[in-house]
Structure 1
Amino acid sequence: MNGLKNDQDIYFNFGTQSLLAETGYISDPSRISIGNNVQVQAGYHWSINDAASGSTPNLTIKDGCSVKAGLHVDCIHKVHIGRNVQIGPYVSMSDRRAAAVRPGYPGWASTAGDTNSLEVLEVGDGCILGAHCVIAGPVKIGKFSIVEPNSVVMNHVPSYCTVSGNPAVVTKVFVPEALDWVAVNGEADREAALALRREHPLLSIVIPTYNRAHHLNNILHSIYNQICDEDLVEVVVTDNASPDTTQVIGETYASLFSSLHYSRNKQNIGADLNIAHVSSLAKGSFIKLNGDDDYWRDGALIDFIGIVLQNLDCTLIHTNHFNSDGQVFRLEGCDQFLTHTSNNAVHMTMNTMKRSVWDQIEDKSKYAYTSINQIYWFYDILSLDPKFCIINRDLYYYAGVAPEGYNVGEVVIKHFLDALQHYEGRALKSETIREEKKKRLYQVILPLYEIIVTHGYSSDVSNYEEYYTDYYANEDYYEEGLLKLRQLSAIKQ
């Protein structure tokens, strides 16, 4: 559906796969914008006044919101509802400055103050507004906060907090170190809890980088365009002695955002050791590995944070960008992880680790020569705590940099299969490894070689056939695979 039409033939912006019930009232549809996948139930009453100017919509409801029956909005300038907000039944909100809000009465029914205010009522991404609550005046409710039913919000609410009462006050603060919502009593308790999570955020996005200043700028822009300087997210960048302008990019962003920590290695320590180094600097409860050429899609980071908050007991969170049906499912154990992630686990950007479990790995650099050191981390983590979840969603733009800096056959054949054999009989069943080995030939080894030779990439594929023979000679499908490899090698020549 592209839009709805009122009696005056005026359209408003209406996203795809959204549903607005027919029974409701909108005073001026031309000043409303509804995003994608928004569901609005009947009985709404949206009064949009003429005080605002310009083409910006007065009422904005972003992607993924769920609005129960009877939402009342009184807007004289701008009411902005962020992504994935859940609004309970018969909620009222007004951006008017109310002189007083009488108990049991919504803000729009109370004595109004400055009706010419150009301030904004903003409900942050991922918030939950309980039934019959009132948002009164141009206040900001921070991301992922919860307003309890029947509460009246008259002041700003920090992100990741629960408020209740009339007037509403903070009663709980999400503290990542505890991985829980901690009850607070009074302003002193609240400030102490907020200070604690600034030291120990929920999520550390760690970016090891080398000689990709342009890509680093793009990824940092994609992050801070969504979270600004949220205290539950930190970004850690380690520059592996890049000769380009990476240092300028890192220091510039660090001067703009207190949550970004940039450091530069005195010398290039290699990719694997740099990944281990940047991960060791993380303070968050979860370590989000991020390649320096993988950018977050608009709104994707906000969606991801919401999923993390719903799966705090998982030790690994894997993103499957090849399936974008939006499902999130939980599994357990190394065999299930291998079956469902296969080669995708090699792409570090697809993986997030619980730091408390990662810290238990004794030697995090033991397999740094393999170019897939993180694969050992993942299976060690699941051996310690088997719970993980998979997100079927395409969260990133991939720059598509060609494989370089390593021998492709050595990594995708030898090192990967060596890693699986390392856990055979302990964390992985032999049958699971055999199934993966065959799947790997037809879904990774042959297709990757074909991409490299047909596109003329300068990737190192020397001894590719030899590595294949070393690991597949005893398989009954060996000859079939060898023939295909030789056909591709002929194209390369």
Structure 2
Amino acid sequence: MVDKMFEAFEGRVNSMSVPNLHPDFTARFHHFGENSNIQDGGQIYCPEGVYIGKNVSIRAHYYFNIVTEDIETYPKIIIGDGCTSNPGFIISATNYVELGPHVEIDSNVFISDTGHHFRPVDNLALSQGIGANRNRVYIGEGTSIGEGAVIIGNLRIGKGSIVRPHSFVECDIPDYCIVAGTPARIMQVYDPESGNWIDVKNEEEANKRISIRRLQPLMSICLPTYNRAANLDHCLHAILTQVGNNELVEVIVSDNASTDATPQVVAKYREQYRNLMYFRNEENIGADRNIFQVMFKGAGKFIKLQGDDDYQIEGTLLPLLNVLQKHGDCGVVHVNVHNNDGQVYLNEGLPHFLAATSIMSTFITGTILRREDLLRVDTPEHFLDSSFNQMYIQYAILQHNPRFCIINRSMYRFAANDPSGYNFGNVVFRSYQSILNYFLGNGLSEQDIRIDKHLVLYNKIIPWFHDIIQNRKKTNTDGFEDIFSQFYKDEPYFEQALQWIRSIRASVSAS
């Protein structure tokens, strides 16, 4: 055991001691991403046609060959962000070979978009020319390619799939499938409902499993929208370019009778993505009711709400799917965008959820609900006109399924539209406190609520108020001081906080 540990350590040291390609050479690449490392000791023909993403790691020895040097069609080889490969990796590209982000390549893997003619048996294949010059190979994000595998032809390997060692792949592989053999066939299909890989005997059974998976994906992204066509365009692009036609994800847009180009924006994406659905209300039913309506249209194991002006950062959706797959028993999943340390942790109970999320449980884009538990809530519309009904639903779910998951990750960019359509003081004081008090004695104690009441005021509400006033946003703050006094007059810090609030408004008025 000690000898093996030493050998493994020595191997790592030797690997780390191999120098990387000289910067003069990497400068010739079509693109060479930051923090990428390609060890010296391989061969790359025509680096001008090779694109290397960020955080790529390629170990020697390797061989990248661009068969046809046509600079007008560069790049021909694309290695996506975060890809890794072990020694013996070979790519031969006549037209196009792309590895999506975070593909793992084991030792001695060969990938090519074409082969050679071999019709005259009396001539060497190498002298007979290539078999095709328009083929494309695409390997989806998060796929793992086993040792000694061969991938060749005009094909697509889906996201999150696994190619077993020494397999020969010559045709398409759907998302989230395990293949093996020569030629490779589907051996297992991922089932989002159980969270398991299910054995399949043949192609017919595999297709049946995949069809069932489309009916109940792992996640439904439910997107209410109204008259924000430009925001929606950006939002859908950020989502769909990551998940593509992924059977594990459906995207549902609920249009609240928009009068702008919203229908045309959705139609553009529906031409390409079959997992995008569109519903349009005959009349504007209000933001709260549109949010409520769309969450019940999803068929996924998890329902994820999404603001139309919150844009998913590249490379964050598939890791999110991985978290949901691992923690499929959680009733609520919360994305904590204010902490980007990447940690994922579990806990149970309303008091712990309140301490972990506070008023950020009202942030719809950070809200993910297990559909099974959502459907068990007796009165999901109880606080429907509060602007915070989604917060109430999370607490109601945790009453019968106390397990929740917190994901610390900044997953979104924000359009920074001014909050409008409601009174700020009314929602952050009256709505928020009313929902917490609803659960007083039913999961939350008076002490739980009073601790949060103090923290949320100083950590969130007053800073938000200051931002609104200082930057003269359109958000309605009429009566803010009066509503604050109504809900905080009995707190020992009331006078101090009231003076602070008044000074914020006075300082801006004076300027």
Match in the other structure for 1:329:
345
- Equivalenced residue count is 485
RMSD over aligned CA atoms reads: 2.9
CA distance in 2, matches of 1:55, 1:202: 37
Task: Write out aligned runs for 1:20-169 (5 A).
Answer: 20-54=38-72, 56-97=74-115, 114-169=130-185
1:159 counterpart letter in structure 2: D
Q: How far is 1:487 from its partner?
A: 0.7
SS in 2 for 1:368: coil
CA distance in 1, matches of 2:131, 2:298: 46
Residues 1:19 and 2:66 are matched in the alignment: no
Residues 1:343 and 2:343 are matched in the alignment: no
Query: Aligned pair in 2 of structure 1 residues 243, 122: CA closer, same or farther (>3 Å)?
Result: closer
Q: How far is 1:255 from its partner?
A: 5.3
SS in 1 for 2:78: strand
2:470 counterpart letter in structure 1: T
Q: Is the 8 A contact 1:52 1:78 kept in 2?
A: no
CA deviations over 1:313-341 (Å, ceiling 9, x no partner): 43333222223333333443333332232
Q: 1:452 aligns with which of 453, 465, 468?
A: 468
Query: Aligned pair in 2 of structure 1 residues 8, 134: CA closer, same or farther (>3 Å)?
Result: closer
Q: How far is 1:185 from its partner?
A: 1.0
Q: Is the 8 A contact 1:3 1:11 kept in 2?
A: no
Q: Is the 8 A contact 2:104 2:145 kept in 1?
A: yes
Question: Stretches of 4+ moved more than 6 A in 1?
Answer: 109-113
Q: Is the 8 A contact 1:97 1:112 kept in 2?
A: no
Q: 1:295 aligns with which of 311, 324, 330?
A: 311
CA distance in 2, matches of 1:313, 1:37: 33
Match in the other structure for 2:4:
none
Q: How far is 1:404 from its partner?
A: 1.1
CA deviations over 1:63-91 (Å, ceiling 9, x no partner): 12232343232333322100121222332
Q: Is the 8 A contact 2:162 2:177 kept in 1?
A: yes
Q: Is the 8 A contact 2:137 2:153 kept in 1?
A: yes
SS in 1 for 2:197: strand
Q: Is the 8 A contact 2:246 2:275 kept in 1?
A: yes
CA deviations over 1:122-180 (Å, ceiling 9, x no partner): 11111112233222333211111111222221211111111111211001112334433
CA distance in 1, matches of 2:444, 2:108: 52
CA distance in 2, matches of 1:333, 1:91: 48
Query: Aligned pair in 2 of structure 1 residues 68, 359: CA closer, same or farther (>3 Å)?
Result: farther
CA distance in 2, matches of 1:256, 1:140: 16
CA distance in 1, matches of 2:496, 2:79: 55
Which segment drifts farther, 134-143 or 354-363?
Answer: 134-143
CA distance in 1, matches of 2:330, 2:127: 49
CA distance in 2, matches of 1:346, 1:424: 18
2:222 counterpart letter in structure 1: V
Residues 1:366 and 2:382 are matched in the alignment: yes
Match in the other structure for 1:262:
278
Q: How far is 1:229 from its partner?
A: 3.0
Which consecutive residues of structure 2, in runs of 5 or more, have no partner in the other structure? Answer: 1-19, 119-124
Match in the other structure for 1:175:
191
Q: Is the 8 A contact 1:97 1:138 kept in 2?
A: no
CA distance in 2, matches of 1:112, 1:283: 53
Residues 1:238 and 2:220 are matched in the alignment: no
SS in 2 for 1:46: strand
Match in the other structure for 1:388:
404
Match in the other structure for 2:501:
485
**Superposition TM-score, scaled by structure 2 size:** 0.86
CA distance in 1, matches of 2:322, 2:49: 29
Which consecutive residues of structure 1, in runs of 5 or more, have no partner in the other structure? Answer: 101-108
Q: How far is 1:98 from its partner?
A: 6.8
Match in the other structure for 2:3:
none
**Superposition TM-score, scaled by structure 1 size:** 0.89
Query: Aligned pair in 2 of structure 1 residues 7, 407: CA closer, same or farther (>3 Å)?
Result: closer
Match in the other structure for 1:103:
none
Q: Is the 8 A contact 1:76 1:115 kept in 2?
A: no
Query: Aligned pair in 2 of structure 1 residues 481, 7: CA closer, same or farther (>3 Å)?
Result: closer
CA distance in 2, matches of 1:405, 1:372: 13
CA distance in 2, matches of 1:202, 1:233: 6
1:41 counterpart letter in structure 2: R
Query: Aligned pair in 2 of structure 1 residues 466, 8: CA closer, same or farther (>3 Å)?
Result: closer
Query: Aligned pair in 2 of structure 1 residues 295, 7: CA closer, same or farther (>3 Å)?
Result: closer
CA distance in 2, matches of 1:425, 1:23: 68
Residues 1:411 and 2:427 are matched in the alignment: yes
Q: Is the 8 A contact 2:67 2:94 kept in 1?
A: yes
Q: Is the 8 A contact 1:52 1:58 kept in 2?
A: no
SS in 2 for 1:54: helix
CA deviations over 1:29-88 (Å, ceiling 9, x no partner): 333222112233343333333455425223211112232343232333322100121222
